[in-house]
Amino acid sequence: MKYTPLLKELYQRNRAKFTAKMAKNGVAIFNANDILPTNADGTMKFRQNNDLFYLCGIDQEETILLLAPDCPNPAWREVLFLRETNAHIAVWEGHKYTKEEAFVASGIETILWLSDFELVFNSVVNLSESIYLNTNEHLRAGVVVETRDARFIQVVKERYPLHRLERVAPILHALRAVKESEEIQQLQIACDITEKGFRRVLEMVQPGVTEYEIEAEFIHEFVRNRSKGFAYEPIIASGPSACVLHYIENNKACLDGELLLLDVAAEYGNYNADMTRTIPVNGRYTQRQRQVYDAVLRVEREAASMLRPGVTIQDYHREVGLVMQSELVGLGLIDQTDIKNQDPKWPAYKKYFMHGTSHHLGLDVHDVGTMHYPISAGMVFTVEPGIYIPDEGFAVRIENNIVVQEQGYLDLMQNIPIEAEEIESLMNR
């Protein structure tokens, strides 16, 4: 792996937090993600199941984690099952975890090969009353591919119909939403790598450069700093393309006088940054572009200050909407008549700012967490307001990543240029 792994103590704490939420005499099972096919005999890059990774730190395919904190056999209370390697696998695929290496990474003492799973699992289940099963319950998930977890759920239902089945997701969504200090350190590294990529791009953007050339500069800087690459499919949108929220073609030339919206970030150690900046292709904002830019920046800073313990995301988004409404009036994009006649379900400001301002960030870019309970210290959020003006051929979005604290917040992107003057200065030096 490119990145430096975190110490096993984090995963030991994470498992302790999870098992403390389990009902007595329960057993929980977590499966690694599949290696997905492309075409013919090709495969996509492996990406570990984030719940499994959160609990043991093992970044390898065909891994299974079993947790049964009340099992009468102490050796079976935490069991990690690994793919057994051999000379053929070593030649064609490379090194796999040894049992000793897996212990160092996870802190789990009982480590067995996958061939032992059926016997151990059946024994533990027959000593248990409930079985905790994992599946993707993200509010925005579109699950169309059958996962290893989904296949395993069907097996459990068929073999153990009299056991009580429990959902893992509600527990882990709450736990993963509040980050440990080590997780915040990984997120900070991802943000720092993102900063390096952005500063590199500021030096090369000029009229005539293509969006895909800019994409290439980012990935070069990310990988050379031990990132696997992009945290998500990058949006590099010049001119009117920035008004398409999920523009990913990145195939146009950047023209003199246009703005360039960059929604690009790095991952590090499976943790993800999420940055957006909007810069002038020729190194100077026009008066109108600057007006809109400064308005979005004011909303971003006001919104960040609103993310504090006790606030709910729904109330937060409504309050940010009022701040944006005021800025849009100031820009002449809406007026008091628009506000008076607006549909309460789709306020007037939504014409120019149609998405939410913040989402959880962590092992997933749109990380799991509750959207219906109060925010807590230790949660990490994006803050990403934007104004999209198709009639004027440009958009501005600005996005930083912050850690909510008991008092105030920590901006993980505080070192990434954000003021218009600094961006212009760096582009023209």
pLDDT of residue 143: 77
In this structure, are 200 and 241 located in the same domain? yes
In this structure, are 75 and 193 located in the same domain? no
pLDDT of residue 329: 98
Residue 213 placed within a domain: yes
Residue 133 placed within a domain: yes
- For residue 421, give the H/E element and its range: helix 420-428
In this structure, are 124 and 188 located in the same domain? no
User: Within 10 A of 184 (CB to CB), how many other CB atoms are there?
Assistant: 17
**Could you tell me where the DSSP H helices lie in 225-341?**
287-306, 313-330, 336-340
pLDDT of residue 140: 77
pLDDT of residue 366: 97
Would you say residue 65 has pLDDT above 90? yes
Query: Once rounded to an integer, what is the mean pLDDT over residues 319-336?
Result: 98
Q: What is the CATH number of the domain that holds 317?
A: 3.90.230.10
pLDDT of residue 398: 98
Residue 3 placed within a domain: no
Residue 197 placed within a domain: yes
Q: What is the DSSP string of 62-109?
A: S-EEEE-TT-SSGGGSEEEEEPPP-HHHHHHT-----HHHHHHHH--S
| Final residue belonging to a domain, choices 115, 145, 174 | 174
Q: What is the DSSP string of 17-39?
A: HHHTTSPTTEEEEEEPPPPPB-S
Q: How far apart are CA 141 and CA 144, in angstroms?
A: 9
Query: Once rounded to an integer, what is the mean pLDDT over residues 117-129?
Result: 97
User: Within 10 A of 22 (CB to CB), how many other CB atoms are there?
Assistant: 19
Tell whether the torsion through CA atoms of 234, 239, 245 and 246 is positive or negative: negative
pLDDT per position as a tens digit, 24-35: 999 999 999 999
pLDDT per position as a tens digit, 74-112: 999 999 999 998 889 888 989 999 999 999 999 999 999
Residue 372: pLDDT band with limits 50, 70, 90 = confident
Residue 50 placed within a domain: yes
Query: Once rounded to an integer, what is the mean pLDDT over residues 283-303?
Result: 98
The three-class DSSP label of residue 195 is helix
Nearest to 207 by CA among 252, 163, 177, 166: 252
In this structure, are 81 and 215 located in the same domain? no
Q: How far apart are CA 324 and CA 298, in angstroms?
A: 9
pLDDT of residue 318: 96
Q: Is-contact 401 412, C-beta < 8 A?
A: yes
In this structure, are 98 and 130 located in the same domain? yes
Q: What is the CA radius of gyration of the chain?
A: 24
pLDDT of residue 137: 85
Domain span at residue 47? Answer: 8-174
Q: Is-contact 23 69, C-beta < 8 A?
A: no
In this structure, are 167 and 194 located in the same domain? no
| Final residue belonging to a domain, choices 137, 157, 174 | 174
Query: Once rounded to an integer, what is the mean pLDDT over residues 305-322?
Result: 97
> Which amino acid would we find at residue 293?
Y
Q: How far apart are CA 183 and CA 189, in angstroms?
A: 10
In this structure, are 277 and 384 located in the same domain? yes
In this structure, are 69 and 205 located in the same domain? no
Q: How far apart are CA 296 and CA 227, in angstroms?
A: 30
Residue 410 placed within a domain: yes
pLDDT of residue 145: 84
DSSP strand pairing (64-67 vs 26-31): antiparallel
> Burial, 146: exposed, middle or buried (Cβ in 10 Å; 0-12, 13-18, 19+)?
exposed
Contacts 24+ apart (CB under 8 A), 2-5: 2/223, 2/226, 2/227, 2/228, 3/226, 3/227, 3/228, 3/268, 3/269, 3/270, 4/226, 4/269, 5/57, 5/59, 5/105, 5/269
| Residues 6 or more apart in contact with residue 236 via CB below 8 angstroms | 211, 212, 214, 215, 250, 260, 261, 262, 263, 264
In this structure, are 101 and 237 located in the same domain? no
Average pLDDT, the chain: 97
Q: How far apart are CA 121 and CA 417, in angstroms?
A: 52
| Residues 6 or more apart in contact with residue 220 via CB below 8 angstroms | 200
Q: How far apart are CA 401 and CA 316, in angstroms?
A: 16
Residue 379 placed within a domain: yes
Residue 176: pLDDT band with limits 50, 70, 90 = very high
In this structure, are 197 and 312 located in the same domain? yes
Q: Is-contact 246 140, C-beta < 8 A?
A: no
Q: Is-contact 386 395, C-beta < 8 A?
A: yes
Query: Once rounded to an integer, what is the mean pLDDT over residues 201-217?
Result: 98
DSSP annotation of 423: H
pLDDT of residue 286: 98
In this structure, are 205 and 320 located in the same domain? yes
Percent of the chain exceeding pLDDT 90 equals: 94
| Final residue belonging to a domain, choices 174, 207, 239 | 174
Residue 2 placed within a domain: no
CA angle 368, 8, 110 (to 5 degrees): 100
Q: What is the CATH number of the domain that holds 115?
A: 3.40.350.10
pLDDT of residue 75: 97
Domain count, the chain: 2
pTM > 0.85: yes or no: yes
In this structure, are 158 and 302 located in the same domain? no
Query: Once rounded to an integer, what is the mean pLDDT over residues 323-327?
Result: 98
Helices 287-306 & 420-428 angle (0-180, nearest 10):
130
pLDDT of residue 96: 95
